[in-house]
Amino acid sequence: MTTSTPARRVAIPPVLAGLTSGNVGAVLERGFTVIRNQNWMILLSGFFEPVFYLLAMGIGMGGLVGEVSGPGGRPITYAAYIAPALLATSAMNGAIYDSTWNVFFKLRFARLYEAMLQTSLGPLDVALGEILMALFRGFVYALGFLGVLAVMGLVSSWWALAMVPVAVLIAFGFAALGMAVTSYLKNFQQMDVVNFVMLPMFLFSATLYPISVYPEAIQWFVMAMPLWHGVELMRQLSVGHLTAMTVLHVGYFVGMTAAGLWLTTVRLRALFLR
Amino acid sequence: MYGDFAAVDSIDFEVQPGESFGLLGPNGAGKSTTMRMIGGTLDRSGGTLQVLGMDPAERGPEVRAHLGVIPQQDNLDEELRVRDNLVMYGRYFGLPRSYLGPKADELLAFAQLEAKATAKVGDLSGGMKRRLTIARGLVNEPRILLLDEPTTGLDPQARHILWDRLFRLKEAGTTLVVTTHFMDEAEQLCDRLIVVDKGRIMAHGSPAQLIREHSTREVVEVRFGSERNAQVVAELEGVGVRNEVLPDRILIYTPDGEGALEEITRRGLHPVTSLVRRSSLEDVFLRLTGRSLVD
């Protein structure tokens, strides 16, 4: 056998020593190899989810609703009203699914992370790699969905192009937080709690109707939830109506991402070294 | 200084570079836990541990760059093909593809899996999976190989192939740390070992040394039928150095097995079956703990 192993050397800040070898790239490489080998139907199903919602609710139910008041008070079709909300929701769902169910499965059953952590990869490399893979999937789906919206004439501004990076930002916030939450979960029953939070967030975050239907106290509660910010942000971009609120929405997700990454890093040992 | 581990829980031991070191004990003795602490993939609650002069809890990635870990249960990547399992695992170590291509082929040959390079992991037999797991653990040319129950669940032929492969690695200078509850495995593979039971070290030394210290050179196994064993044992007094009555047979410890067997016949005792064999680590364990290892 050969005697020298030409391993790559990367400078690691002392705080992170023991948690990373600076080799996140290898985790991504594995992710892309798996996608290449994967059944493409699995990939496509994630793309069709918001499309089906759009067809059923936007076009189907939208026929009963007619025109509604969009951002800035401009009248738009019901389909154009909910389409940006569906994109925000699908970014959220994909990121949460990847960072909770998928991570939990690979941790406990496929024991993929156990194998990765036998190597010089550290828990931070694995966590970041998996979050970045979730973002990549979110990016591809967002791009596809925006294409559908453009073809259907449901966007009316060049600002709509920003909906793709914003979908990635929304996914980043949820994936970072989702990974931290997973570190507290012990079994699949507790996973159901995650679903119990996600579904009402989708239904009640002013996704399918304006927030003004709620009494003021409830409005404040909804506005504290992350998805509402995602929905509003997407809606503004779809028609190119940018306000001071736009900055606030983006800020919300930047903060959520930072908090999620911080908590995930703190919880890395609890998540992986048990 | 390298190749030193010290103090694991209430278990203290050191391993020298190039040595083949065994942790021997029944299931649940804490062998796997010890192994995971060495690799820094399990946080330990106290004590000190040094691998290659570093604490794996603090410098896990650096320590593991020099370790080959073979876990008790195979954790191959089922979403990747056989050869990709080797290549990707090497990528986790930050090794370049130019190195990993030839290395993967070399390891496939080592594991006798050349024909399975593009097969799905799920389609491999148990023995093949085990060999692939061991081959994978060698991709970074580790200085220390941690083998947790390497041959559990394998048929005798597959076990011998593996022992042969491990022996070659040892010859090439790799430090082996092996846990096992198989006595023959420990005798085959280990220069030195500790016998662990209930979190304590019962004995340590080379297999030959342990046998010399805790057993006799030979053992006579006689069976008189399950009802008569206990009754006959009094009449066997003095035949050997010491007798051990098991449910199905009596073990007579003696320096001279044939002589002891003749003495038994001279006393007018006629066992249903009799067997003279060399003492093994199984006898050491029986002596130390008062029970056999594989229940």
Residue from A119, A128, A130, A273 whose CB has the most chain B CBs within 10 Å, to mutate: A119
Distance from C-alpha of B254 to C-alpha of B275, rounded to nearest angstrom: 13
Q: Does domain B216-278 have CATH number 3.90.850.10?
A: no
Whether A107 contacts A273, CB under 8 Å:
no
Residue in the block written with tokens 């990454």? A261
Q: Please tell me which residue of chain B has the smallest CA distance to A126.
A: B92
B43 to A273: CB separation less than 8 angstroms, yes or no: yes
Give yes or no for A15 touching B (CB within 8 A): no
Spell out which residues of chain B touch residue A24, defining contact as CB-CB under 8 Å.
Answer: none
Q: Which of B92, B85, B93, B170 lies closest to B135, judged by CA?
A: B85
- Inter-chain touch A18–B76, beta carbons under 8 Å: no
Interior angle at CA B172, CA B110 and CA B196, nearest 5: 95
Q: How far is CA A155 from the centre of its chain?
A: 21
The answer to whether the CB of A112 falls within 8 A of the CB of B85 is no
Domain boundaries, chain A: 49-272
A120 part of contact set with chain B, CB < 8 Å: yes
User: B172 to chain A nearest CA, in Å?
Assistant: 9
Query: Do residues A265 and A123 lie in contact, with contact meaning Cβ atoms separated by under 8 Å?
Result: no
Residues of A in contact with B71 (CB under 8 A): 114, 118
Three-state secondary-structure class, residue B180: strand
Q: What is the pLDDT along chain B (295 residues), one digit of tens a residue?
A: 234 444 345 677 888 888 999 988 877 777 888 888 888 877 777 778 888 888 888 888 888 999 999 998 899 999 999 999 999 999 999 999 999 999 999 999 988 899 999 999 999 998 899 999 999 999 999 999 999 988 877 778 878 888 888 888 888 889 999 998 788 888 888 999 988 877 778 888 998 898 888 888 899 998 888 777 777 888 888 888 888 888 888 889 999 988 888 888 888 888 888 899 888 888 888 888 776 554 4
- Of B69, B77, B172, nearest to A1 by CB-CB distance is B172
Q: Where are the domains of chain B?
A: 20-206, 216-278
Measured CA to CA in angstroms, residue B198 lies from B9, B31, B185 at distances of 12, 10, 21
Residues contacting A140, CB < 8 A, separation 6+: A47
A109 to chain B, closest Cα gap in Å: 9
CA distance A250 to A201: 19
CA atoms of A205 and A220, how far apart (whole Å): 11
- Give the closest residue to A127 by CA, choosing from A93, A163, A90, A177: A177
Out of A110, A119, A269, name the one closest to residue B43 (CB): A269
pLDDT tens-digit profile, chain A (274 residues): 333 444 445 566 666 767 888 899 999 999 999 988 877 777 788 788 899 999 999 999 998 988 899 898 889 999 999 999 999 999 999 999 999 999 999 988 889 999 999 999 989 999 999 999 999 989 999 999 999 999 999 988 999 999 999 999 999 999 999 999 999 988 888 888 888 899 999 999 999 999 999 999 999 999 999 999 999 999 999 999 999 999 999 999 999 999 999 999 888 888 887 6
Question: Across the interface, do A37 and B59 touch by the CB < 8 Å criterion?
Answer: no
Identity of the residue in A5, A30, A33 whose CB atom sits nearest the CB atom of B141: A5
Inspect the interface and report whether the beta carbons of A115 and B76 lie closer than 8 Å: yes
Any bridge partners for residue B224, and if so which? none
Q: Per the CB < 8 Å rule, is A118 touching B141? A: no
CB contact under 8 A, B88 and A29: yes
Cβ neighbours of A238 (radius 10 Å): 27
The three-class DSSP label of residue B158 is helix
Task: Kindly provide the b/e burial profile for residues B19-52, where b requires at least 16 CB atoms within 10 angstroms of the residue's own CB.
Answer: bbbbbbbbeebbbbbbbbbbbbbbebeeeebbbb
Q: CA triplet B136, B139, B143: central angle to 5 degrees?
A: 110
Most A CBs within 10 A among B93, B136, B148, hence the mutation to make, goes to B93
Total residue count of chain B as it appears in this document: 295
Q: What is the pLDDT of residue B7?
A: 35
Whole-angstrom Cα distance, residue B85 to residue B70? 14
- Does residue A32 sit at the B interface (CB-CB below 8 Å)? no
For B20-206, CATH number? 3.40.50.300
